[in-house]
A and B are shown apart, each in its own frame.
Chain A
């Protein structure tokens, strides 16, 4: 198990804040309304527990865009919405591009593109801040209960019973009252490497602050 010091925890929170802030700005451009964000939360949980969290957040089923990434810290990122809000979100995204009736026909493409933009914005910002390069797989759209979204797949973040480093941010489209969740899952080997990058970032930040 990795035990984070207070300063490590604060550094991760700060970097995640910057990264998801960038993602929120991208989402704001897509839906043209203010996006509220919670403070990022980092903890260590079993990968299978993520499905329970998704079920708690989205009582009547979820839509998710998942994106695996490789590189020094392989893992997976998820953008999760309650299923019953998905068409409303699609309508917000397509705006005047297509008639309102075509929202359900465009649902998969629209939400996949939102996931692509939002997850890449946060992962890309984080990679740039930490000076690492990650390779993102194509985003995948999945619909169903948390078990289906998480436990049906074994990924770079490990098997369902394995411990993972789990980072989560909740966001809200303020006018439409649509809540969503950005989740990042790293297996423990990846988490250790991630912490090396965090320590490297802190060392650089502290040395430049002394100049």
Chain B
């Protein structure tokens, strides 16, 4: 089934890398890219319920990625979220996982994202 992905990362190269893996793994999925948490929340409000998958970096200008996930989870417990970050500290991973997000390390290994997408597909 086709899905819509919201991709939140302030770095253009990181967005390019992620988009390229998504295109390879799920060519029919569409991707909306934003570079900060505030724009992500705006997109989510405008398209309530329409994002099937949200990929979030932790280090963002303004509100950080974990705060963004926490705001999203206040109204939405079900959307599949992956936190994709170079910040490999254990407390960061624990906070992400406690909010029901999958923790994926940067540099991105395509396989980690493929496995996350398989979990997303399996929820249908």
Q: Is the CB of B13 within 8 A of A109?
A: yes
Per-residue CB contact flags for chain B residues 56-90 toward chain A (1 = under 8 Å, else 0) read: 00011100000000000000000000000111111
Q: A29-B107, A30-B107 are in contact. Are A121 and B86 (CB under 8 A)?
A: yes
Per-residue CB contact flags for chain B residues 7-37 toward chain A (1 = under 8 Å, else 0) read: 0001111101100100000000000000000
Stretch of A42-50, A110-118, A184-192, A196-204 that contacts chain B? A110-118
Is residue B49 within 8 Å, beta carbon to beta carbon, of the partner chain? no
Q: How many A residues, CB 8 Å from partner?
A: 27
Report the Cα distance A110→B61, complex, angstroms: 17
With both beta carbons as reference points, the residue of chain A lying nearest to B106 in the complex is identified as A117
With both beta carbons as reference points, the residue of chain A lying nearest to B89 in the complex is identified as A124
Q: A121-B88, A124-B87, A124-B89 are in contact. Are A138 and B20 (CB under 8 A)?
A: no
Q: Is the CB of A109 within 8 A of B88?
A: no
CB contacts (< 8 Å) of B13 on chain A: these are 93-94, 97, 106, 109-110, 112-113
Q: Is the CB of B87 within 8 A of A120?
A: yes
Is residue A66 within 8 Å, beta carbon to beta carbon, of the partner chain? no
With both beta carbons as reference points, the residue of chain B lying nearest to A112 in the complex is identified as B11
Overall SS of chain A's interface: helix
Per-residue CB contact flags for chain B residues 88-103 toward chain A (1 = under 8 Å, else 0) read: 1111100000000000
Report the Cα distance A1→B109, complex, angstroms: 44
Q: A30-B107, A106-B12, A133-B91 are in contact. Are A97 and B86 (CB under 8 A)?
A: no
Q: Is the CB of A113 within 8 A of B89?
A: no
16 cross-chain CB contacts under 8 A: A26-B86, A26-B107, A29-B109, A93-B13, A97-B16, A98-B16, A112-B11, A113-B13, A113-B14, A120-B86, A124-B88, A124-B89, A125-B88, A127-B89, A136-B59, A136-B87
Known: A22-B88, A93-B13, A113-B11. 14 other contacts (CB 8 A): A30-B107, A97-B13, A109-B13, A112-B13, A116-B59, A117-B86, A120-B59, A124-B86, A124-B92, A127-B89, A128-B89, A136-B59, A138-B59, A139-B59
What is B's interface to A at a CB cutoff of 8 Å? 10-14, 16-17, 20, 59-61, 85-92, 106-107, 109
